[in-house]
């Protein structure tokens, strides 16, 4: 199950980012985080959350850097716990 979620996430996110569809990529991240939380996979959840944060930092609009850094910091705290 996890492998399917991971591959779907990677495909969805890469496709959305490559065509410049921020909204769709954002939806993919949110979907993936919800699915990973539902199966209680905190390791992959932290990795996905960190990637989501880095995505915001790279997007670099308005408050994206701050939002992205907060996601990255939260993910790193979870992975170190």
Q: What is the pLDDT of residues 5-54, one digit of tens each?
A: 666 666 666 666 666 778 888 888 888 888 888 888 888 889 889 988 88
Q: Where are the domains of the chain?
A: 2-80
Q: What is the pTM of this model?
A: 0.77
28: which residues sit within 8 A by CB, 6+ positions away? Answer: 9, 12, 13, 16
């Amino acid at each position: 199950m996890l492998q399917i979620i991971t591959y779907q996430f990677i495909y969805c996110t890469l496709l959305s980012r490559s065509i410049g569809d921020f909204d769709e990529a954002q939806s993919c991240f949110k979907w993936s985080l919800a699915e990973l939380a539902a199966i209680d996979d905190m390791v992959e959840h932290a990795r996905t959350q960190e990637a989501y944060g880095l995505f915001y930092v790279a997007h670099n609009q308005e408050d994206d850097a701050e939002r992205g850094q907060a996601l990255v910091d939260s993910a790193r705290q979870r992975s170190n716990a």
